[in-house]
Amino acid sequence: MGTVITVDVRDPGIDPAAVEAAFAWFREVDDTFSTFRRDSEICRLLRGEITEPECRPEVREVLGLCAEVERRSGGAFDIHAGGRLDPSGLVKGWSVERAAAMLQVAGARNFFIGAGGDVVVRGEPAPGQRWWVGVRHPEVADRVAAVLAAGDLAVATSGCYERGEHIVDPRTGRAPQGLLSVTVVGPSLTYADAFATAAFVMGEPGVTWVSGIDGYDALAITEDRRTVWTSGVDRLLVRTTAPAT
């Protein structure tokens, strides 16, 4: 997965096996979608050793979702940018969302899953409280640029600080310009993850693009160090200083 994954379940009585199953799922996703493991299905597909219909259903599902977001973003989201097949801009959020569904089936109602800049929160960390999700500052690793108070929400951040300059603008073949980071919030982490990648490629107009998608909002830090956000994010912003989850 290329990052640290944290699962925090606050419900009493949840079988620890449910959390273990979530981590087993993440290992399975890494085995299947890794662009670094030569034996992963994604790498075998890129080399032409197998065809898409021969891939497991999860691979076909992810590739279909990627094609959908590519269409919706006018090509700003493109898993073939740079001449290689890399669905990482969607698959991490998709896998975390699947893990959240697994925990809910096991009876969990109040939990947090974080994988790098991708977060799913459900319910409450304690009665009457909301989860506080910190958006990492893109230039200062030990600072947050904003804190969001959320209940049932997906939060995804795209930028160059987690994995370096790994995002390519398919329209230019170069690193995107205009933003240091962009965070997208909404009901689905699968889409929030991919929308964040697309918006980062678009630059500041990407914030407006996200705001036009029903149920999704964005917060971005521009290259000239301005913080801009949409109205939906304004309702989530915490305007006091305190530790963030």
Residue 116's domain comprises 9-234
- Residue 158: CATH number of its domain: 3.10.520.10
- pLDDT per residue over 161-188, tens digit each? 654 456 777 777 777 889 999 999 999 9
Determine the average pLDDT of the residues in 195-219.
97
- pLDDT per residue over 113-165, tens digit each? 999 889 999 999 999 999 999 999 888 888 999 999 999 999 999 987 654 45
Indicate whether 4 belongs to any domain.
no
Indicate whether 34 belongs to any domain.
yes
Question: Does the pLDDT of residue 38 top 50, yes or no?
Answer: yes
Indicate whether 86 belongs to any domain.
yes
Determine the average pLDDT of the residues in 16-40.
96
What percent of the chain is modeled with pLDDT above 70?
94
Confidence category of residue 94, pLDDT binned at 50, 70, 90: very high
Query: Which are the contacts of 107, defined by CB distance < 8 A and separation ≥ 6?
Result: 11, 13, 14, 18
Determine the average pLDDT of the residues in 102-113.
98
Indicate whether 22 belongs to any domain.
yes
Question: Would you state the pLDDT for residue 8?
Answer: 97
User: How high is the mean pLDDT of the chain?
Assistant: 92
Question: Does the pLDDT of residue 82 top 90, yes or no?
Answer: no
Determine the average pLDDT of the residues in 34-58.
95
Assess contact for 29 and 95: CB atoms under 8 A.
yes
Indicate whether 3 belongs to any domain.
no
Indicate whether 240 belongs to any domain.
no
Total structural domains within the chain: 1
Indicate whether 136 belongs to any domain.
yes
Indicate whether 182 belongs to any domain.
yes
- Global pTM reads 0.92
Determine the average pLDDT of the residues in 63-80.
96
Question: Would you state the pLDDT for residue 164?
Answer: 44
